[in-house]
Amino acid sequence: MIRRTRGLLLLGIVTLAIGLIVTFPARIAYSWAASPLIKMSGIQGTVWNGSARRFSTNGVYLRELTWQMRPLKLFTGQALYDISGSPVSGFVESEVAVGFGGSLTIRNLTAAVPLQMFAGAANIAGLRGGANLKFERIELVSGRATAMDGSVDVTSLVVPMLSGSPLGGYSAEFFTQNNGIVASVEDTDGVIDLAGSLQLNPDKSYAFLAQVVAKPQAPDNVKNQIKYLPRNDSGGHELRLEGTY
């Protein structure tokens, strides 16, 4: 009888604990554990299944963010969510896994977004255009990218510091290597004939090296800026950018 009572008490405690976790309000979880880099408002639902009217981080803004957890993935040491949201125009859909050690893994990311949502993060005032993203994997540790495999296609690119006119379309393919993340970058229908490579290093430094040639339809101010870049043996000009992110 005592063992039965203890068993029923233990079952009741476990049931209560599961009930509290399943119904735990997302609003309270956010107030307890949110990173100062993340801002959310209009939070509804639970940590398992909920939504937020507004979400922003590092200048990136989404509306109507929704999430739904896959509870069985908790046994693998990760909290895996199906995520969707809406920027000013377009959409974002992905799987996001949060590791108990603080790592963040984004898988099966598909998105169509305006480039201006990255203007703050890229520190490029007036950045405009459209971007289609398709990534199999992005891994972040303490805000640092440790893996990226996928592609970005940019259309109607406008970079005011270069030209107020659209510069056309460009694409980048990202790959993860032992020494960091690399990407091949080229024009698709841009006014600049561009072929280059981007290296993202573990110390959060980056290096972009490209050969550029102004096409006949390029704006005059773009042609003039390219003329001052170093020439290479093939008759093109070399563009080199380095820094940290």
Output the pLDDT for position 4: 47
Long-range contacts of 22-29 (CB under 8 A, 24+ apart): 22/46, 22/48, 24/48, 26/50, 26/52
Question: What are the residue ranges spanned by the domains of the chain?
Answer: 103-244
Mean pLDDT for each consecutive 10-residue tract of the chain (245 residues)? 45 43 66 71 88 83 89 72 90 87 85 87 82 94 86 93 88 92 95 93 87 92 90 85 79
Output the pLDDT for position 17: 43
Cα 200-206-210 angle, rounded to 5 deg: 100
On the 0-12 / 13-18 / 19+ scale of CB atoms within 10 A, 138 is: buried
Q: Which two tokens stand for residue 167?
A: 């510069």
Output the pLDDT for position 34: 63
Residue with tokens 């773009």: 222
Q: Which two tokens stand for residue 230?
A: 């170093």
